[in-house]
Amino acid sequence: MTSIPLIDLHGSIDPHAPLARESAARLHEALSTIGFTYIAGHNVAPASRDAAFAASREFHASPLERKQSVAINGFHRGYMGMATSTIVTSSVAKVTRPNMSESLMLMHELPPDDPGLLAGLPLQGPNQWPGWVPDFKPRVTRYIAEVDALSRYVVQLIAMSLGLPAHALDHHFERPTTFLRLLHYPPQAPQEDEQIGSAPHTDYGVVTLLAQDDAGGLQVRPRGGDWIEAPPIPDTYVLNVGDMLARWTNGRFVSTPHRVINRSGGDRYSLPYFFDPGMDALIECLPTCTDEANPPRHAPVRYGNYLLDRLNRNYDYRRAPSGDAVTA
């Protein structure tokens, strides 16, 4: 394939709506061939998304010492400075140089009395909000609520596309593991061939919904093909399959390599939202994705174990001076 398809959801996030099955069928085709699609006709308000982008720009324009006051912690929440993540787990490239980006990571928000938070379970901690940025938390929280609803609908369309009831997978996402990463890529000089905004990789989880600004730079490599551009299209999301969804579907859906090279001459901002199962979810081949001729390719895996392994290997902060990984 030489381009990424576009699916119009017709302004609905109801799996029982008249056109939902058509959307599910088109989604199945896109995710089983290229593993990427643009999503139009969604219910995320342009004003909410614009406000989240504005909050991100204001945060990244802050002095470094202020950003470092919310430095990423053992719960994988907070500010990651420039060039502090290296995708050593990439299955598509030997990555030795860190990504040329900085970001603020926000994960699923937990109430103060959450049992996992009180017990200090892995990745179950409070978010770090930059209180000096006016109205940052309400702007970003409103956006998260809207993109989360869209993500849940996408999972229902995926279930339908696989011959399952629309709500068949919902129980895995009752307490989802989510990440909103407010990313900033600085301009990259044309001669910096060895440096890259985001090295070739596949995503860890189930689905990613990416909001891009107008700078461009995202590239996708379909199976058997070369890198193609995924240019920004106004008021759309870029949806892609993660490794867990490929595993869940026994390879029917494709977790496709992608990368970012910021050649725009200016700054690039993006808002990827990663929507994944609960940490205790057992990911094993779905019943409609296997038969005698196509047995399960992977052993069942607990999502939290898989995720922690990748975080511990890819992020500098998760390695103590002794070299041991942190456990939070």
Write down the residue that tokens 């407010």 correspond to. Answer: 182
Residue 91 has pLDDT above 60, yes or no: no
> Residue 284's domain is classified under what CATH number?
2.60.120.330
What integer pLDDT is reported at residue 325 of this predicted model? 47
State how far the Cα of 37 lies from the Cα of 153, in Å rounded to an integer: 15
Whether the per-residue pLDDT at 139 is higher than 70: the answer is yes
- Cα–Cα distances in angstroms (integers) from residue 224 to residues 33, 228, 235, in the given order: 11, 12, 30
**Which structure tokens are listed for 4?**
């990424």
Number of H helices, E strands in the chain: 7, 14
Q: Would you say residue 143 lies in a domain?
A: yes
- Under the banding of pLDDT at 50, 70 and 90, the label for residue 321 is very low
Q: Dihedral sign for Cα 125, 301, 154, 259, please.
A: positive
pLDDT in tens, 218-266: 999 998 889 999 999 999 999 999 999 999 999 999 999 999 988 888 9
What are the strands of the beta sheet with 177-185, ordered from one edge? Answer: 6-8, 36-40, 237-241, 207-212, 268-276, 177-185, 102-107, 78-80
Q: What is the mean pLDDT of residues 26-36?
A: 97
- Three-state DSSP at 301 gives strand
Band of pLDDT at residue 92, cut at 50, 70 and 90: low
- Is residue 227 assigned to a domain? yes
Report, as an integer, the average pLDDT of 116-124. 94
Contact 328, 74 (CB under 8 A): yes
Is residue 39 domain-resident?
yes
In a domain, 328, yes or no: no
The pLDDT of residue 78 is above 50? yes
Distance of CA 151 to the CA centre of its chain: 11
Q: Which residue has the higher pLDDT, 137 or 83?
A: 137
Burial of 223 (0-12, 13-18, 19+ CB in 10 A): exposed
User: DSSP 3-state assignment of 213?
Assistant: coil
The Cβ of residue 198 has, within 10 Å, a number of other Cβ atoms equal to 22
Q: Is residue 327 part of a domain?
A: no
Question: Average model confidence (pLDDT) for the chain?
Answer: 90
pLDDT of residue 193: 52
The whole-number pLDDT of residue 96 equals: 45
Q: Is residue 97 part of a domain?
A: yes
- Distance CA(162)–CA(154), nearest Å, equals 12
Taking residues 92-112, report their average pLDDT.
Answer: 79
Angle in degrees, 0-180, between the axes of helices 20-33 and 136-161, rounded to the nearest 10: 90
How many domains is the chain partitioned into structurally?
A: 1
- Please indicate, yes or no, if residue 1 is contained in any of the structural domains: no
- Residue 326 is assigned to a structural domain of this protein: no
pLDDT of residue 188: 76
Structure tokens at 107: 């994960």
**Domain membership of residue 176 as a residue range:** 6-318
- Range in 5-14, 185-194, 198-207, 305-314 the model is least confident about: 185-194
